[in-house]
A = this chain, B = another copy of it.
Amino acid sequence: MDVKKEIGVSKIMGSKTDTYRNFPMVPRVVFGQGSFNQLGEILLPKRKHSEAPFIFLVDDVFEGTKLIERIPLIFNDQIIFVSAEEEPKTSQVDALVQKIRNGYEELPSGIVGIGGGTLLDLAKAVAIMLTNKGSSAAYQGWDLVQKPSIYHVGIPTISGTGAEVSRTTVLLGPEKKLGINSDYTTFDQVVLDPDLIQGVSKEQWFYTGMDCFIHCIESLNGTYLNAFSQSYGEKALELCKEVYLGELSPEDSRDKLMMASWHGGMSIAYSQVGVAHAMSYGLGYLLGVKHGIGNCLVFQYLEEFYPEGVKLFNEMREKQGIVLPIGICKNLSDQEFDTMIEVAMGMEPLWENALGKDWRKTITPEKLRSIYEKI
């Protein structure tokens, strides 16, 4: 099976003899309530000429809302609404690229992604594929992208994935779910407007925020960490606690969740995820369970590996009145369990990060099955 880890860290960082990743940061960021209003001004100097449009990829939940009226369309700019119901796919990226190529004689001035992790990942991938040949599936992996992407902007409307700041775009391809990890993937500009995350449902708000929280727990308890990623991860974790366990005003809560996601994404630079992500991959691969909720479903049963983290998670879930679905794995066949287990156990770097080189002494198919059966 060719399913691989999703997070963009390809080797162990942090020991003296290693080469450290020269990490690309988002070179330009604006933060503030209402900062979305500055988008027109931000894009203007990036417009190549009137025939080279900006293409806005927007989560279709915003269709017909006031946000759409605020998008600064001029010339032949175009809004393309995209559903985020399913995880982003290489075929979807290829179709979007084809649509844009067919619609215009010129390359666009840029791509603007407006939405959650799915839309942000699609925007990154489309920006890359407009200048690189073939199918996006050919670029899933590490540093396979040859040519710089076109200018691309990320505007999160859900916070927690860290997609706004990471150097990967995770895509489901014909053969594998894997990120296009490259220095060209990172956004050229991010607009962090906490007002934009107001409309999200409580469940989505919780699951996506927990993506950040669980990532932090996994990376801070991992063996791959260094001080750079630790400091970002600790801050992201602290902000998650404030948001989900504190008594913040709605405004402060949005501000802080947006920053939690930002710092959580930065912490990926020199760290790796762990048990929850590995097992969640099995769920996603077999059952199509989405990333955020998949992590939650697994994580609740990982007290053996992350006792403090699971305790905190349960406190947050209870305080926020979130009821996780049950019986997801109830009617699975032995063969289906085996598939999930095989996918999960294939995530070697995640297990090694979580448990060290001897992880196979702890992690057996029986062990994983016993956890999956609870879900």
Contact of A28 among B23, B30, B34 (CB under 8 A): B23
Q: Which residue of B is nearest A255, CB measured?
A: B227
Query: Does A21 count as interface, using CB distance less than 8 angstroms?
Result: yes
A284 at the interface (CB under 8 A from B): no
Within the assembled complex, what's the spacing in Å between the Cα atoms of A150 and B232? 30
Q: Is residue A258 within 8 Å, beta carbon to beta carbon, of the partner chain?
A: yes
Q: Which residues of A contact B (CB under 8 A)?
A: 13-14, 16-35, 38, 42, 189, 192, 194, 226-228, 231-232, 234-235, 238-239, 252, 255-256, 258-259, 263, 269-270
A258 near B21 with CB under 8 A, answer no
CA distance A212 to B228 in the complex (A): 17
What is the interface of chain A mostly: helix, strand, loop, or mixed? mixed
Closest 8 A/B residue pairs (Cβ)? A227-B255, A20-B32, A31-B228, A27-B27, A235-B235, A231-B259, A22-B30, A25-B25
List the B residue with the shortest CB-CB distance to A183.
Answer: B28
Set B227, B231, B259: member contacting A194, Cβ < 8 A: B227
Min CB distance, A364 to chain B, in Å? 35
Whether B32 and A13, one on each chain, are in contact in the complex, defined by CB atoms closer than 8 angstroms, is: yes
B42 engages A16 (CB within 8 Å): no
Count chain B CB atoms within 10 A of each CB in A24, A228, A234, A255 and give the residue with the most.
A228
Kindly state the separation between the CA atoms of A14 and B30 in the bound complex, as whole angstroms: 11
A23 contact from B29, B255, B259, Cβ within 8 A? B29
A191 CB, min distance to chain B CBs, angstroms: 9
